[in-house]
Structure formats: C-alpha cells, structure tokens
Structure 1
Amino acid sequence: MNAKLVCAILAFCSISFNSFAQKAVLKKVFNGRNLKGWVVPENNIWWTVADGILKTKSGPNKKGSILWTEKEYTDFVLETDFKYDEGTVDTGIFIRTDTQQIQMGISGSLKRDMTASPYIAGKGYPVEAQNVKDILKPRDWNTIKVIAIGGYYEVWLNNKHVMSYTSDNYVKTGPIGLQLHPNTDMAASFRNIRIGKLK
C-alpha cells in the first residue's frame, strides 16, 4: 500500500472518529469550586481550586501526585483547557491506568516538549504528535481533546488533529487521571474539564 493511500485512510479515520466523538454528551467533571468527584490524595498539598481553576504545584519534596476521577470510563472523549504556569512542566492525562498516558509538557526522559504524544510504559513514546510547536501557546490557555476507543487514541490540540495511536496492551476500563510528575518543580492549571462516554 503506497504512502499516499495510507495517509488518506488515516485522515478519513481521524475525521470519522472525531465526528463520532462530537456526538458524545460532555459533562463537567470539575465543578470549579472544589475537588468533588475526584479521589483526593492523602495529605494533599498538590491540588487546589480557586476561581474556577484547578491548579497543581510541586511540593517541597517533589514527590509528585495523581488526581483520579472517582468514576471509571471505558470509551470516552475528554476535553479540557490547560496552561503551563511555572517551571519545567511535566504533566499529562492517564487513560484508565497509570501506564498509558497522553503527555503534556516536557518529557523527563527526552528532555523536550512532548505535549499530546502517548507515553506507554515499557515502550516510551511510540509516536510523536505533529506540529505541536506551531500550535501550542506557551504560558497561555490551550485546549486538548483526547478520544479513547479501546486502545485507539486520538488527540486534538487547539482544534487541530495532532496524534493517532493504537495501543496493544491497553486497560479496558478505569478512571482518568491528571498527573503531577515527581522530581519536578512546576505548576500547571486546568479548567473546563469535561468527559463524555462513548457507546
């Protein structure tokens, strides 16, 4: 199969999945006032809420933290605004488990921005999101959309499709997590976090 045909098929699949995901009813999972609906880590010093914004910031020991949804999801679309505030930001969205992630910010292993790329434990970054440098607005609000259908993941950044990947060792059902990476000194913000279940 020639390269042009492969690209055409991938583009068609991307448009089809996005159209399918658009039909999902997105519901707020962050109320802008507190962490209701989320599993708050014990002795939480990393996650705070103010003025409709969820903020995460490294603690003095740089232990890191994950904020998980109370609900579990199978196939879903997640959309959120995010902003990289301070330091070397290394965060991301965990897909049903802490071994499958959509990276946001600087990769600790690669030492460069891998926003919107999948990180798969044991495989590293099997593909890299495209044109992120041209799309991402540093230190300003951006919007990311993640579609997860089984092991098929798609990511849209500021309404631009940037990544498609199929995982062969995904977890079928589980919570969705926001990560504060350990061993970093950083701060990031999230708002308008919405998730829709796909049937």
Structure 2
Amino acid sequence: MKINKMIPVFLLMFFSLSLLFAQEVKMKSIFNGKNLKGWTVEPAENIWWKVEDGLLSVKNDPTKTGSTLWTKKKYKDFIVELDFLMGDGVVDSGVFLRSEKDQIQIGISGSLKRDMTASPYIPGKAYPVEAEGVPALLKNDDWNTMRIKLVDETYTVWLNGKEVMTYTSENMPEKGPVGLQLHPNNEMSIQFKNIKIGNL
C-alpha cells in the first residue's frame, strides 16, 4: 500500500520536471564571429559594420550616416540575448524588434540627452516607460548582457541578469527581423558579441 501511494507522487514529480525542461528555451547563435552571414546591412553598401576577433563592431563614417544590421530571418515570439560594450563618442544604439517601430535603447537618447539603456523607444511616443535601476547595473567600460523577451506585443528586458522593464506595445508586426542600430548624425562606436536567439 505504501508503494502504491508513492507512485502518484513520483509521477507528479516526473511530469513537473518534464514540463520545466520543456519550457527551457533553446538559444541559438545568430552571429558566427567570422562574418555577417545571415545578416543584411541597410544601406546596402556596408562601410560601418566589421567583424574581427569574434566581435561585431560598428562606427559612424565621416558623413555620420546611420545604418541598421538586420537578421535575414524573421521571428515571431522569441528571446534575443547579446553582449555589448560601449565605445567612443556618444553611444546611441539599440535593438529593433520585428521592425523599426519598436526599439530597445542602448546608450544616450538623442532627444533626452541622457542614458536610456533598456528602455523602449517608439516613434511618435518617444520613451513610453523608463527601465528601472539601470545606472546601478550598466557598465560603461566593460561588457554588458541584455536579454529581451518578446511575446505577442509585450516585451521584457533584463540588463546584466536583472529585470528592468516590461512594456506592451501596439500594432507590432506579427513577425519580423531583429535589428541592431547605428544612429545617424552621431560620432560613436559600439561592439557586440554572443548574439543568440531562441524561438518561443
């Protein structure tokens, strides 16, 4: 009788663990550290994005033209994770989610003239919310890790392991690429590595 009573408990534990493992997201590298395979540069004539020693670097040209590096693949619900290192100048970069409409800021806001890292920027709405606790988390002279989870139209951002922002957008495309931004009319550089994505 004691064994029979233990079987349902064992099965419950087994299925709970199975469900936990099933929910783990398999992250896949989308930057090979050698070249820009799997990515598209806009404008097409790339003079900004370079790959060297496993790092993706971007820097404004003398005309201060901006650029976006897009994944060729489109994604629906996903988690994207990357490491970034602030470079020279006034860093104004970010991660685009499915289109240029929704962006997670990295660095100084051109309009607000202060750091808005991990906050969403939306044309017409500017920064509808501000990420919390960023000054204590952000490392200006070392590598930072950003993790963004997008489900339907809601995205959540973690900076260096701590959740700092959640926002629900409107009228987002159901599916689209992920982009990295080099803001125009600026003098700056930034580096990226360990760029991964997992479908949800």
- TM-score calculated relative to the size of structure 2: 0.87
Alignment-mate amino acid for residue 59 of structure 2: K
Pairwise CA distance, 1:24: 1.2
Secondary structure of 1:134's partner? helix
Which residue of 143, 146, 151 corresponds with 2:153? 151
Query: Are positions 1:25 and 2:15 aligned together?
Result: no
Give the distance between the partners of 1:111 and 1:101, measured in 2 at CA. 17
1:169 aligned partner: 171
Larger radius of gyration: 2
| Contact 1:103/1:114, CA 8 A, preserved across alignment | yes
Segments of 5+ residues of structure 1 without an aligned counterpart are 1-18
TM-superposed deviation, 1:77: 0.1
What is the percent sequence identity of the aligned residues?
57
For 1:51-62, list aligned pairs within 5 A: 51-62=53-64
Q: Return the offset for 1:40.
A: 2.8
Counting matched residue pairs gives 180
Counterparts of 2:161 and 2:74 in 1: how far apart (Å)? Answer: 26
Match of 2:8 in 1: none
C-alpha deviation, 1:117, in angstroms? 0.1
Match for residue 39 of structure 2? Answer: 38
Distance change in 2, residues 1:161/1:65 (3 Å) = same
Against the structure 1 CA distance between its residues 59 and 21, is the aligned structure 2 distance closer, same or farther, given a 3 Å change threshold?
farther
Residues 171 and 139 (structure 1), Cα distance of their counterparts in 2 relative to 1, 3 Å cut: same
CA contact (8 A) 1:21 1:147 kept: no
Is the Cα contact below 8 Å between 1:73 and 1:175 reproduced in 2? Answer: yes
Decide whether aligned partners of structure 1 residues 162 and 61 sit closer, same or farther in structure 2, where only a CA change above 3 A counts.
same
After TM superposition, what 4+ stretches of structure 1 lie above 4 angstroms from structure 2?
Answer: 19-22
Q: Which runs of 5+ in 2 are unaligned?
A: 1-19
Shift of 1:170: 1.4
Q: Which residue of 2 aligns with 1:138?
A: 140
For residues 89 and 141 of structure 2, what CA distance do their matches in structure 1 show?
11
Cα 1:38–1:88 shift into 2, 3 Å: same
- Taking the aligned partners of 1:48 and 1:22, their CA distance within structure 2 comes to 35
Q: Could you give the per-residue CA deviations for residues 5-59 of structure 1, whole angstroms, max 9, x where no partner exists?
A: xxxxxxxxxxxxxx99971111000000000000134221110000000001001
